[in-house]
Structure 1
Amino acid sequence: MNLKTTIGGETFQFKDLKDLFAKANEEKSGDRLAGVAAETVQERIAAKAVLSDITLADIRNNPLIEADQDEVSFIIENDLNEPIYEQMKNWSVAELREYMLDNKTGDRELKRISQGLTSEMIAAATKLMSNLDLVHAASKIEILSTCNITIGQRGTLASRLQPNHPTDNVEGMIASLKEGLSYGIGDAVVGINPVDDSVESVKRLLEASHEFIEEWKIPTQNCVLAHVTTQMKAIEKGAPADMIFQSIAGTEKANRSFGISAPLLQEAADLAKKFGTSAGPERLYFETGQGSELSAEAHYGIDQMTLEARNYGFARHYNPYIVNTVVGFIGPEYLYNSKQVIRAGLEDHFMGKMHGLPMGVDICYTNHIRADQNDIEDLGVLLTAAGVNFIIATPMGDDCMLNYQSMSYHDIATLRQTLGKSPSPEFAAWLEKMGIWENGRLSERAGDPTIFSR
């Protein structure tokens, strides 16, 4: 395996595959903080040149973390489709990239080959892609998933309604829920981030959201994004949960810092199947984001984009209903400015789709990052063009509980109208019945939460 090249009379030697992967990554403040980033543009170009000639077999035969040392590595390796891998193992990373982008390679073929690719192989190809490459390749892939309803159909843009409240007040949450629904938001999930992670609070929010969904016969799913163990206890006490949520990471050590393990997630999946209130078959919701492993001091010298890819290899083992990356939420230590946020959002979406995941994005930023509303609107347009399954929306784009800026109800409506997207079919039919949606766009009545007053 060659790890050296000479460009312009200067020789660049990389220590190992881990070093090569990190130096071939686009500029990220998190990689620089971890001490793994390329020192110069020339070194980054050299790393990309060397990486392009590395074979898929080289990547598999030189694991960044051994499978017997890390359960995420073990799952990724164990889930690999051997016959499909054997057909591609001698491809270079450059050849894989070209195959993904080839006009002859469509949705079905990309989903087929994904079964024979490890997360690191997908990450490697992603490092060689431009932003437009990531949009184009992801737009080919249609991933459908079903909980109470099915989302992900080509030509649709679903949304997560996030009616958070700073004190978990049920009336306040319902008021926000009504407003979001009146703008056509909420087909992916009504997902509430609780302030109080107690079983009683989670149960109360699940009951209130479920009761409202049942009363108005809304074709959607509810979820309260507490820790997985809290949700499980609430369900065991009779709470009506359509799915179970958990944040995940790309290494076993980082997952341990979240208080989770592979067996625990399987236990949650089994519980949701036995006692959950959705039709299924998909009943899990995972959230990710570049930089979490570095935050947990569990990155092992691996760049944050490759670790994010490993998130998706871990996630696909459980066949989730939805997955989303929260891009720009952690802060400038990991993604410093709008350029890095936009790049990470496109990388994450493409890598998730290439893992066969129903991929969404929380397009957001914190107030201390060098980005603004225009930047995340730009990313919203790019991701909608790329065929993102869903986007998270908050009232006026400002989450009053988590204190960060995201996409608003109005933004989702504008993206749908501008780019010719619609809500998921079952939800769109319900919106039409309620008089909120007509002729492929929001009606004059949209935005009026008194629609939900008896």
Structure 2
Amino acid sequence: MILSTVLFGRTYQFKSINEVMAKANEEKSGDVMAGIAAESAEERVAAKVVLANLTLEDLRNNPAIPYEQDEVTRIIQDSLNEKIYDSIKRWTVQELREKILDYNTSGNDIRRISRGLTSEMVAAVTKLMSNLDLITAGNKITVTAHCNTTIGLEGTLSARLQPNHPSDNEDGIVASILEGLAYGSGDAVVGLNPVDDTLESVKRMFHRLEEVKNKYAIPTQNSVLAHVTTQMQAIREGAPADLIFQSIAGSEKGNTAFGISGELIAEARELALREGTAAGPNVMYFETGQGAELSSNAHHGVDQLTLEARCYGFGKTYEPFLVNTVVGFIGPEYLYDSKQVIRAGLEDHFMGKLSGLPMGVDVCYTNHMKADQDDMEILSTLLAQAGVNFLITAPHGDDVMLNYQSLGYHEIQTLRELLQLKPIKEFEEWLRKMDVIDLSGRLTKQAGDASLFLV
């Protein structure tokens, strides 16, 4: 295993694979803050050269966090398909990249290879790819999942409808839901972040979301994004939950900071399958984001892209229906500006897909970040071309409860019409029935008017 290279007459010597991985990463303010980023463009290129020539076996034998110290590492390593891994372990990272991008390598070929990859391998190949590589490779991979409907089929683009309200006012939440539906959003999930995540409040929100879904016979799934333990107790007390949600991390310490473990997530999944209201079998919803582990001092000196890949390696064990990265939500301390957010969004989507997940993205930014809505429209267009399973939408792209900017309800249908994509089939048929879209799939004249549901 060679951890040095000569570039422009200078020798670059790295102490460990973790150092190579961190310094090969594209510039991220979180890595800079952690003191692990490359100090120059030349050092970054040198680290990429070293990384390109490492074998997959090198990465398997040197996980980011030791097996004995970390539950996430154990889950990733123990779930590997050993037969597939044995057939590719002598590949270098650059050979893996070439295989994925090869015109003759199909999406099914990539899905098979992915079963023999650890999250560190997924992260490593991502670091060698350009933005266009990430779009091209992501577009090749199809990942579907089924809760009440099926997400991720080719030619579709779905949306989470996010009707958050700063005081959990139920009438306000319902008004936001109806407006989103009137623009064609909501086929992935109607997912509410509650201000009050006490048990009684969460139960009430579950019942109200289910009431709206049943009243209008909407073919979708509902979720209340409280802590997993609160949702579990709500289900035990009769709340109608289609999905159980939880934020997850790429290290055991990060998951502990979220108040979870692999055992707890497995218990939640079993409860949702046994007592939840969805058809299944995919009944979990996970959220991630580069920098989460650093924010809780749970990063172990590992770069944020590698930790994000480990989130996906952890999450896929529980066969989720939805996974999304809240790419710009954590703030400029971790992704400084629009260039870093766009790069991270493309990275996360590709890594999620390569990990076998039905991957979505919250194309978003905070108001103290050097980004604006035009940047988010650029990223959303690139992601739609990359085959992202779903995007998140909020009223006018402004989440007044979480105080950040995302995509607006109307933008999901604009992307569909621009790129000739469709919602989930059952939802598309429902939109036609409700006269939101016409037979060609375009919005009707009354689309966007929530009162059409009140007639």
User: Do the structures match in fold with TM over 0.5?
Assistant: yes
- Equivalent residue runs for 1:222-261 within 5 Å: 222-261=222-261
Matched residues in 1 for 2:209 and 2:197: separation?
Answer: 17
How far apart in 2 are the matches of 1:166 and 1:203?
18
1:445 maps onto 2:443 in alignment:
no
Q: What is the Cα deviation at residue 65 of structure 1?
A: 1.1
User: How do 1:282-361 and structure 2 match up within 5 A?
Assistant: 282-361=282-361
What amino acid is the match of 2:364? Answer: C
Provide the secondary structure at the position in 2 that maps to 1:220: coil
Aligned residue identity for 1:19: E
Within a 5 Å distance, the mapping from 1:162-181 to structure 2 comes to 162-181=162-181
Count of matched residue pairs: 454
1:114 aligns with 2:107: no
The letter of the residue matching 1:449 is A
Query: Shift in Å at residue 234 of structure 1?
Result: 0.8
**C-alpha displacement of 1:445:** 1.9
Quote the residue 1:7 is aligned against.
Answer: 7
Cα-to-partner distance string for 1:258-296 (whole Å, 9 max, x where unaligned)? 000000001100110111001001000000000000001
In the alignment, the residues of structure 1 paired with residue 408 and residue 63 of structure 2 have an alpha-carbon distance, to the nearest angstrom, of 41
For residues 237-260 of structure 1, the C-alpha deviation after alignment (integer angstroms, 9 at most, x for no partner) is 111000100000000000000000
Aligned to 2:205: 205
Which one-letter code corresponds to 2:447 in the other structure?
A
CA shift for structure 1 position 351: 0.1
Counterparts of 1:396 and 1:345, CA distance in 2: 21
State the alpha-carbon separation in 1 of the partners of residues 67 and 190 from structure 2. Answer: 36
* Secondary structure of the structure 2 residue equivalent to 1:442: coil
Secondary structure in 1 matching 2:223: strand
Helix, strand or coil for the counterpart of 1:360?
strand
Work out the CA distance in 2 between the residues paired with 1:8 and 1:406: 43
1:297-328 alpha-carbon deviations (Å, 9 max, x no partner): 01011000000000000000000000000001
- Match in the other structure for 1:419: 419
- Which residue of the partner structure matches residue 131 of structure 2? 131
| Match in the other structure for 2:94 | 94
Partners of 1:323 and 1:126 lie apart in 2 by: 18
Residue 74 of structure 2 is matched in structure 1 by 74
Give the letter for the 1:285 counterpart.
Y
2:369 is equivalent to residue 380 of structure 1: no
Structure 1: distance between partners of 2:209 and 2:234: 14
User: Which runs of structure 1 show a deviation greater than 6 angstroms over 4 or more consecutive aligned residues?
Assistant: none
1:110-159 Cα shifts (integer Å, max 9, x gaps) = 11010000000010000000000000000011111100011111111000
SS at match of 1:12: strand
SS of equivalent residue, structure 1 residue 246: strand
Give the partner amino acid of 2:178: K
Q: How far apart are residue 410 of structure 1 and its match?
A: 1.3
Code of the residue aligned with 1:198 in structure 2: it is T
Q: CA deviation at 1:5?
A: 0.5
Distance in 2 between the 1:358 and 1:441 partners?
26
Structure 2 distance, partners of 1:410, 1:253, is: 39
Q: Structure 2 matches for 1:177-188, cutoff 5 A?
A: 177-188=177-188
Whole-angstrom distance in 2 between the partners of 1:295 and 1:406: 21
SS state at 1:68 partner: helix
> Percent same amino acid at aligned positions?
62
Q: Give the drift of 1:451.
A: 1.5
Structure 1: 5+ residue stretches without partners:
none
The alpha-carbon deviation at position 450 of structure 1 amounts to 1.1
Q: Structure 2 CA distance, aligned partners of 1:338 and 1:252?
A: 30
Letter in 1 for 2:45: I
CA distance in 1, matches of 2:380, 2:302: 28
CA distances 1:139-181 after superposition (whole Å, capped 9, x unpaired)? 0111111000111111110000000111111111000000000
Q: Specify the code of the residue in structure 1 equivalent to 2:318.
A: Y
Match of 1:272?
Answer: 272
TM-score between the two structures when normalised by the length of structure 1 = 0.99
CA distance in 2, matches of 1:165, 1:429: 29
Q: Which stretch has the larger CA shift, 431-440 or 382-391?
A: 431-440
Instruction: Report the Cα distance in structure 1 between the residues aligned to 2:227 and 2:63, rounded to whole angstroms.
Output: 31
Deviation at 1:70, TM superposition (A): 0.5
String of CA shifts for 1:342-374, please: whole Å, max 9, x gaps. Answer: 000000000000011000000000000010001
1:192 alignment counterpart: 192
SS across alignment from 1:223: strand
Rounded to whole Å, the distance in 2 between the matches of 1:198 and 1:76 is 33
Deviation at 1:399, TM superposition (A): 0.4
> CA–CA distance in 2 between the matches of 1:442 and 1:357?
30
In the alignment, the residues of structure 1 paired with residue 393 and residue 64 of structure 2 have an alpha-carbon distance, to the nearest angstrom, of: 36
Q: Distance in 1 between matches of 2:62 and 2:373?
A: 42
Comparing 127-136 with 162-171, greater Cα deviation is found at 162-171
Q: Following TM superposition, by how much is the alpha carbon of 1:64 offset from its aligned partner in structure 2, in angstroms?
A: 1.8
Residues of 2 paired with 1:215 and 1:8: CA distance?
Answer: 68
Cα distance in structure 2, aligned partners of 1:367 and 1:175: 25
Query: For residues 173-219 of structure 1, what are the alpha-carbon distances to aligned partners after superposition, in whole Å with 9 as ceiling and x for unaligned?
Result: 00000000000000000000000010111111110110110111100
**Equivalence for 1:32:** 32
- In the TM superposition, what whole-angstrom CA distance separates every residue of 1:6-50 from its partner, at most 9, and x where no partner exists? 111111000100000000000000000000000000000000001
State the AA in 2 paired with 1:290.
Answer: Q
Question: Distance between the aligned counterparts of 2:199 and 2:298, measured in 1?
Answer: 29
Distance in 2 between residues matched to 1:195 and 1:61, nearest whole Å: 44
- Kindly provide the CA deviation profile for residues 365-412 of structure 1, in whole angstroms up to 9, marking residues without a partner as x: 000001000101000000000000000000000001000000001111
The aligned counterpart of 2:218 is 218
Supply the AA of the counterpart residue of 2:449. D
**Deviations 1:396-439, CA, capped at 9 Å, x for gaps:** 00001000000001111111111111111111011111111111
Normalising by structure 2, we get a TM-score of: 0.99
Report how far residue 68 of structure 1 moved.
1.8
The code of the aligned residue for 1:174 comes to V
RMSD, aligned CA: 0.6
Give the secondary-structure state (helix, strand or coil) at the position aligned to 1:317: helix
More off after superposition, 281-290 vs 443-452: 443-452
